[in-house]
Amino acid sequence: MDQTQYFNDMMARLEELFYHELSDCACWKTEFVGVDFIQSRDIQGTTPSEIIENCIREITTAGLVKEITYSIGGQDILLYAKVKGCLHISKEVALRKRGIKIYNCPIINMILDQIIEKLNFETTYVADIEVDEKSGECLLKCAIFESPAKIGNVCDWSDECRLIDENNQWTTVEC
Amino acid sequence: MQDILDVLISRKSIRRYKPDPVPDKMIDKILEAARWAPSGENYQPWRFIVIRDQETKNKIGDLAKVGSGSRMTAWYCMGEMQKRFEKIKDPDKRARVLEFMYSGEVSEFAKHAPVVIAVIGDLQIGSVDVPYDLSAATENILLEAHSLGLGACWVHGPVATSRDAIKFKKILGIPTGMNAYKVICYVAVGFPAEERKHPRPKVPLEDLVYWEKFGNKERP
């Protein structure tokens, strides 16, 4: 029996039901999904990059994903991440097949949780999750706000992401 | 029995208030109206916290500002806010409105409201569908405030995310366990300092109503 598929099927059902109850608001309520794993690890760091990379090491070592690459841009507010070979990809694919916008990534929830808990960031927000079933890759755009003063610092993230891609400003964490 | 349609259709969300205090008798009537909302199995899970302390209102206003501002900053950066407000043709006005939104100032007004009423639900009293019950009570608060000549606004922003809901509970001393109380919103109340213009246009009824079966717009 494929236990991963079994649990992903259950998660997909739960997220489908949750979306039906809360519509787009569902994504605002799921930020703690996944954090138990990362909170059980002793993540250390004094900068976003250190926290992110130490989270990635724990997540990949545990076999939850194969690789996470990331970049920080947009006046230090944009956290742009690629998640490859994730344990949960079949959940996301199942939801998309049912016409539901992907809204809950336990992996990025872990990283954002540690940015808040360890660096005392004011808040974070998952703005977009794109899933590419063929490549088995998720592309995530998140906002990370160090302080209230960072809120309202806007720029065009499509430009930011394009530049990150063109200049290959991705950081890959070696484990 | 009187038809309350005039009260319903003349109400709008009021976010600017005169500094005048709201008399206790008015607050009591508003809470009484809330108490008479319908609830599943008549469980009446609602509880209300009336807040007039300025320091507490400031904390709630700050939380709301960060909550709305963080989301709207991200939406703006994704290009979504610009699409939402493209109906505003004047580019300067549109830019001002957008900045008001993504800065979070749009949700900060609890600081300036004479009264803030937190609407919470007890999840441990055999309740069913608590958010729906609380929504009905909140609507009653809005309608009673309006009928008394006050202005009010229903605000979900500071409790929209799970993490912010915990912060909100901590500000007010509400038990933070997920099994205890559900916070659905607060309502800011005061004498209006903005014109009670006719509400924004509503979608025509013919676009909203089907007869007998979904999709059937013809009245039999």
Is the predicted pLDDT of residue B159 greater than 80, yes or no?
Answer: yes
Is residue B164 predicted with pLDDT exceeding 80?
A: yes
What's phi and psi for B55, nearest 5 deg? Answer: -65, -40
| Residue contact A143–B76, C-beta within 8 A | no
The CATH architecture annotation of domain A3-172 reads 2-Layer Sandwich (3.30)
pLDDT for residue B199: 66
Contact A119, A51 (CB under 8 A): yes
Per-residue confidence (pLDDT) for residue B194, from 0 to 100: 87
Question: How far apart are the C-alpha atoms of B104 and B60, rounded to whole Å?
Answer: 13
| Cα nearest neighbour of A26 on chain B | B161
pLDDT band at A44 (very low <50, low <70, confident <90, very high): very high
Q: Among partner residues A32, A152, A158, which is closest to B103 by beta-carbon distance?
A: A152
| Cα gap B92→B94, rounded to integer Å | 5
Q: How many CA atoms lie within 13 A of B67 on its CB side?
A: 25
Q: Could you say which of A25, A145, A157 has the minimum Cβ distance to residue B78? A: A157
Q: Which of A28, A79, A164 to mutate to test the interface with B (most CBs of B within 10 A)?
A: A28
Report residue B192: phi and psi, to 5°: -65, 135
Q: Which residue would you say has higher pLDDT here, B10 or A44?
A: A44
**For the residues B154-162, what does the mean pLDDT come to?**
93
Min Cα distance B72 → chain A (Å) is 8
Do residues B70 and A143 lie in contact, with contact meaning Cβ atoms separated by under 8 Å? yes
Cβ-nearest to B77 among A25, A116, A156: A156
Is B79 within 8 Å of A156 when comparing Cβ atoms? yes
Distance from CA of B53 to the nearest CA of A (A): 23
Q: Which residues of B81-104 are buried (b: 16+ CB within 10 A; e: fewer)?
A: beeeeeeeeeeeeeeeebeebbbb
Write the pLDDT tens digit of every residue in B35-44: 999 999 999 9
Cα–Cα–Cα angle for B182, B185, B187, rounded to 5 degrees: 140
Per-residue pLDDT at B43: 94
Is 90 exceeded by the pLDDT of residue B126?
A: no
Mean pLDDT, chain A, integer: 96
The tens digit of pLDDT for each residue in A69-98 reads: 999 999 999 999 999 999 999 999 999 999
**pLDDT level of residue A174 (50, 70, 90 thresholds):** confident
Q: Where do the domains of chain B lie?
A: 5-190
With an 8 Å Cβ cutoff, are B78 and A141 in contact? yes
Share of chain A above pLDDT 90, in %: 96
Looking at residue A77, what is its pLDDT? 97
ipTM of the complex: 0.95
Q: What is the pLDDT confidence band of residue B198, given thresholds at 50, 70 and 90? A: low
**Shortest CA distance from B156: residue in chain A:** A25
Q: Would the pLDDT of B117 be above 90?
A: yes
**Residue A130 in 3-state DSSP?**
strand
**B27-47 mean pLDDT:** 96
- Which element (helix H / strand E) includes A169? none
CB A91 within 8 A of CB A146: no
| CATH classification for the domain delimited by B5-190, as one of 3.40.50.1370, 3.40.50.720, 3.40.109.10, 3.30.1490.20 | 3.40.109.10
pTM of this structure: 0.95
- Min Cα separation B114/chain A (Å): 25
